[in-house]
Amino acid sequence: MFRRIVSLLTTLTLLAVTLMACGPQQPTELPPTPTQRPPTATETEAEETRTLTLATTTSTENSGLLGYLLPFFEEEYNTEVEVIAVGTGQALQIGEDGNADVLMVHARSLEDAFMDAGHGVRREDLMYNDFVIVGPPDDPADIDGMTDAAAAFAQIAETEATFISRGDESGTHTKEKTIWSAAGVEPSGDWYIAAGQGMGAVLTMADEQEGYTLSDRATYLARTLEGTDLVILTEGDPILFNPYGVIAVNPDKSSEINAELANQFIDWLISVPTQEKIAEFGVEQFGSPLFTPDSEPWREANSDG
């Protein structure tokens, strides 16, 4: 009897072991997959696209220079450049108000006043071209071939031929007023129209009204690609020299001003490789550059000394 009980218990034990072996298996716990560490603040900042606000004269945009040049900087520095294209006077005011990081303008007397007032902390020579007096092919004021800009303006006033002025305190308008002053003329009357517009718009108005205007050469040449009847009638006078400068706005103007990025942009603009790019702009279309490089590093690299 005892043996039967032992045999029965043994059988039940074996059956229980067998059932446990055949039952559902518990999943094997795998070691946790390591998670990717979050990026550091420095790495996140490096990956984010930065923004630079550039207030500039309309000529740098209308001529196509900015569209050609800025993508190089944006790619190299992971930066988006927001362009505010207005007259030089307005661009300087935007800087004075602290609403731009950097300025690219072309009215040296206004630039010097801006710097003297402490609105800017750094100014560098950038490039230059020249102004030209353009007008209709039939040239009712008979100024074709003149090399004295003031005399040409005086003749336009004397004949009361239509003249379209920027009238916007831009660098071009500032130069125009300098030439009128040299001519001893205070322009007024129906023949003199103050447009209050950018260079491209003023060229269109002069073309439509068969009038004269003062234009930077680059914007005029760029406009010829779109079609215009206006022709260059007066050029070559030293008074028509048109230098451009770049200015870093005083960061004390606003906590939003990115002074470091502004200086990186200026350093990039005046560097020899970028100046070489400026020297190439327009050559393919017009046979000569629309702007001549003139930064200090460029002059040093190309000096004979």
The percent of residues above 90 in pLDDT, for the chain, comes to 79
Nearest to 169 by CA among 196, 187, 131: 196
Contacts of 118 (CB under 8 A, 6+ apart): 250
pLDDT higher at 6 or 77:
77
Whether 49-129+243-301 shares its CATH topology with 130-240 is answered yes
Distances (CA, A) of 245 to 81, 115, 147, 242: 18, 12, 26, 10
String of b and e for 231-264 (b: at least 16 CB within 10 Å)?
A: eebbbebeebebbbbbbbbbbebeeebbbebbeb
- Residue 46 confidence (pLDDT): 52
Q: Identify the residue whose tokens are 């209050």.
A: 196
Helix axes 171-183, 88-96, angle to 10 degrees: 130
Q: Which helix (H) or strand (E) holds 115?
A: helix 108-116
Summarize the confidence of residues 275-288 as an average pLDDT. 94
Fold of 130-240: D-Maltodextrin-Binding Protein; domain 2 (3.40.190)
From start to end of 1-117, where are the E strands?
Answer: 50-57, 79-86, 102-105
Residue 73 has pLDDT above 60, yes or no: yes
Q: First vs last Cα of the chain: how many Å apart? A: 123
13 or 253: which leads in pLDDT: 253
**Pairing relationship of beta strands 120-135 and 241-249 according to DSSP bridges:** antiparallel
For residue 214, give every residue at least 6 positions away whose Cβ sits within 8 Å of its Cβ, in sequence order, or none: 131, 132, 133, 134, 165, 166, 172, 175, 176, 179
In the chain, domain spans: 49-129+243-301, 130-240
Query: Does residue 305 surpass a pLDDT of 90?
Result: no
pLDDT digits (tens, 9 = 90+) for 12-32: 444 444 444 444 444 444 444
The span from the CA of 183 to the CA of 155, in Å, is 9
Name the CATH superfamily, with its identifier, for domain 49-129+243-301: Periplasmic binding protein-like II (3.40.190.10)
Please tell me the pTM assigned to this model.
0.80
Q: Do the Cβ atoms of 119 and 95 come closer than 8 Å?
A: yes
Tokens encoding 247: 């200015």
pLDDT band at 229 (very low <50, low <70, confident <90, very high): very high
- 239 vs 305: which has the higher pLDDT: 239
